[in-house]
Amino acid sequence: MKKMCSCIVVLSMLLTGCTGLVDKEAVSNAIDEGDGSNKADTSNTQEASNHDSQQLDEKAGSTLDNVLPDTIGYGWRYYGSVEYGRSESIVDVKQLDHEKHIIVQGAIDDMSGGESSRDYSFTKTYKIVEDGIKLNHQDSSGETEFYWIKEPIEVGNTWEHPWYEDSTGKSEIVKADEQNIVVRTERVEPNPLQSYNITESVMTITRGIGIMKEELVMEGFDFSAGLDSYGEHIFDWLGYYEFESNDDQSGYVTIYKMNKNEIAFDLFSMKGVEFENETGMQKIGKIEGNRAVFKEEIPLGDGSKSTYTVQVVLEKIGDTIQVTTDNVTPDYSGSDLIIDGIYKKVSP
């Protein structure tokens, strides 16, 4: 059992470092002052430095700088076949002279139900440098840094690097286009002190979003983690909300998926209507700031083909959501079935 728990921890660590609802398009197309002479030399040096910096900026802008989002608060939520979940978000972005750092903090869900004393939190720093993107991964087991992606971003490019658990990996870009980058890494020198070995990983990255999926092979078994939700401030939105009321009315809102433009939710009212988004997120309007709008035509349920229209506005206010129904079909007696009011978050 101890070996299995250790194995799961390593798998989780690999999936967090090597490895956030998803855009259909993204999936379908599944990165010192002196004398005059010294001053002249300094000027030339500065000119060369500016030139190098400009080249770096142009290069990074075209191939590297758009691989990952760089907005503080942008987050990802992953689920995987090892029955764990992982949450992470950007907490800082630093623009240095010749590189850019995107700092991400996160945590793996504790599968022990609180029995484990292990710290499941981690910090990842993506360093966009001239010839690639380095990943510095820190957690309770230690620190590792290696080239996550290396220039040129083209099929067939390979590089060897330190990997997790004091091993060595060899990475190869197996797919590269305007939208997606796929990197396969093989473990070429395993750590002899480890009783388990990850032999291969395949990481799929979508530009502007980040890691979409990570697949691992360990001693003949396949494991994977896939992006479930992503976007700015997603952990402010995602969760379970209950209706606040002093009377017998009750209801809830569950926001269970999100991408950068849309959310998927269930809204249930004890007045007698269950209002669910069963056909996907596409029915939710684009998120604009702290608001999201859902609009649907619903059958009257009287045997006719007649429908009534409901528009629900969800407004995020702190740890609550204000639900408001608008533009309901006039003269329909069932239009008040959805409870307007404040729904307070009770669990993430």
pLDDT confidence tier of residue 31, bands split at 50, 70 and 90 = very low
pLDDT tens digit sequence for 91-146: 999 999 889 999 999 999 887 777 888 888 999 999 999 999 999 999 988 898 99
pLDDT at 346 over 80: yes
Query: Looking at residue 95, what is its pLDDT?
Result: 93
Q: Which among 173, 188, 174 has a CA at the least distance from the CA of 132?
A: 173
Q: What is the pLDDT of residues 193-219, one digit of tens each?
A: 665 667 889 999 999 999 999 998 877
- Is the domain of 127 the same as that of 213? yes
- Residue 182 sits in the same domain as residue 240: no
Whole-number pLDDT of residue 82: 56
What's the whole-number mean pLDDT along residues 279-301? 70
- Write out the residue range of the structural domain in which residue 138 sits: 2-30+66-228
**pLDDT score of 5 more than 90:** no
Rounded distance between C-alpha atoms, residue 287 and residue 74, angstroms: 14
CATH code of the domain in which 195 resides = 2.40.360
246 plus 175 within the same structural domain: no
CA gap 230, 258 in Å, rounded:
6
Confidence at residue 320, expressed as pLDDT on a 0 to 100 scale: 93
Provide the 8-state DSSP code for 101. Answer: E
Statement: residue 23 has pLDDT above 70: no
Shared-domain flag, residues 172 and 196? yes
pLDDT band at 163 (very low <50, low <70, confident <90, very high): confident
Work out the end-to-end distance of the chain between its first and last CA atoms, rounded to an integer number of angstroms.
30
- Residues 105 and 244 occupy one common structural domain: no
How far is C-alpha 63 from the geometric centre of its chain's CA atoms? 20
What is the CATH number for 287? 2.40.128
Residue 339 located in a structural domain: yes
Rounded Cα–Cα distance for residues 306 and 327 (Å):
17
Q: What is the pLDDT of residues 222-281, one digit of tens each?
A: 888 899 999 988 999 999 999 876 666 678 888 888 887 888 888 776 554 445 444 334
Based on the fold, state whether residues 177 and 205 are members of the same structural domain: yes
